[in-house]
């Protein structure tokens, strides 16, 4: 029987297998696969609970005191990243739906599977867990501003606060509240501990389920916009090459320790595709399909890049001192 440690050790290969199966399913049964998009938000909420349930909140109190890391995190994600994204976007044609997809996905820092890959890359994943609500609130506030700066007032109006607030409560507040309540319950009743032990098995399978639902529901749309997809792939690859280098210099500038520096690199380079996808799907029909296709393409490119990151970040980019 497989142990939880074995499951976590082999999770990357599980994700690759799931991606292949999901792509095949979505292409062979596009009608069925397309109907899965209504489950995306629910599946992501389950994923977030499974991750939040593993946070030792006593340790997080100490992590909240790491103000230097928080300042570095905000600098990377809201100064360095927008600058890089703006420059890279100048290489694309002036096609608003295409640019909107690029901006939605690249301007929003990841709050879910970045935790997994930070751990695999031997970074301080507790700092990323702690920063999840901070990153979500700040991107909720700043994304409309960046869209206004990059695309004009009309684009800023596309991203209304309602869907973001709904996502924040549904994907962050509710899963976090349930996780905290369960940990408090575990202090008073043995059954609570058993539930938390069971929850420790959930992050890997729920991540696999999330990837399956996202890819299977959206892969069929990629072929419809193949010309645009070909244009954005080099932008995503360039982003994944540039941002780890910039993040490394910012980590050195803020004098972060090795684990914190690696966490900063993963946060600056990993984007929020799974959470902004429901927002893209809520756009008007003439926009949603292309914007969603652009976002899903980033997910696929990024996951391939993460497999490289977990090896080169600890071995080459930021070694143990």
pLDDT per residue as tens, the chain (321 positions): 778 777 777 777 888 899 899 989 988 988 888 788 788 888 888 887 887 787 666 555 665 678 999 999 999 999 999 999 999 999 999 888 899 999 999 999 998 778 878 988 999 988 888 888 788 888 888 988 898 899 886 665 566 666 667 777 887 788 888 988 888 888 888 887 888 888 888 888 988 898 899 888 888 877 778 888 999 999 999 999 999 999 999 999 999 999 999 999 999 999 988 778 877 877 777 678 888 889 989 988 998 899 899 999 999 999 886
* Beta carbons within 8 Å of 115's beta carbon, 6+ residues apart: 51, 125, 128, 129, 132
**Which tokens is 87 given?**
């420059």
Q: What is the pLDDT of residue 142?
A: 92
Return the number of other C-beta atoms located less than 10 Å from residue 2's C-beta: 7
Residue 206: closest CA among 38, 53, 58: 53
Sequence-distant (6+) residues with CB within 8 A of 13 are none
pLDDT the model gives residue 7 = 79
The pTM of the full predicted model, rounded to 2 decimals, is: 0.85
User: Of 227, 269, 272, whose CA–CA distance to 244 is shortest?
Assistant: 269
CA dihedral 28→29→31→34, nearest 10 degrees, is -90
């Amino acid at each position: 029987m497989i142990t939880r440690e074995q499951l976590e050790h082999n999770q990357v290969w599980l994700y690759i297998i799931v991606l292949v199966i999901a792509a095949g399913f979505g292409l062979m049964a596009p009608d069925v696969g397309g109907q899965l998009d209504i489950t995306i938000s629910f599946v992501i909420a389950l994923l977030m609970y499974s991750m939040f349930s593993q946070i030792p909140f006593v340790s997080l109190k100490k992590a909240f005191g790491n103000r230097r890391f928080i300042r570095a995190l905000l600098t990377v994600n809201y100064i360095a990243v927008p600058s890089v994204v703006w420059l890279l976007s100048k290489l694309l044609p002036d096609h608003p739906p295409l640019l909107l997809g690029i901006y939605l996905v690249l301007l929003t820092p990841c709050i879910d599977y970045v935790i997994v890959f930070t751990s695999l890359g031997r970074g301080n994943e507790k700092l990323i867990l702690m920063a999840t609500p901070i990153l979500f609130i700040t991107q909720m506030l700043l994304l409309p501003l960046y869209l206004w700066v990059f695309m004009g007032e009309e684009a800023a109006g596309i991203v209304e606060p309602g869907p973001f607030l709904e996502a924040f409560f549904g994907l962050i507040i509710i899963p976090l509240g349930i996780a905290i309540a369960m940990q408090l319950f575990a202090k008073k009743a043995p059954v609570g501990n058993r539930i938390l032990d069971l929850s420790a098995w959930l992050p890997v399978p729920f991540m696999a389920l999330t990837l399956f639902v996202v890819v299977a529901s959206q892969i069929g749309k990629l072929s419809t916009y193949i010309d645009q997809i070909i244009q954005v792939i080099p932008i995503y690859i360039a982003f994944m090459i540039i941002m780890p280098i910039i993040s490394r210099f910012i980590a050195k500038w803020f004098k972060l320790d090795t684990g914190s520096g690696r966490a900063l690199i993963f946060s600056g380079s990993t984007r929020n595709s799974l959470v902004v996808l429901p927002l893209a799907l809520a756009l008007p029909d003439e926009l949603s399909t292309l914007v969603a296709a652009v976002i899903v393409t980033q997910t696929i490119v990024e996951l391939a890049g993460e497999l490289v990151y977990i090896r080169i970040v600890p071995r080459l980019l930021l070694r143990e001192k």
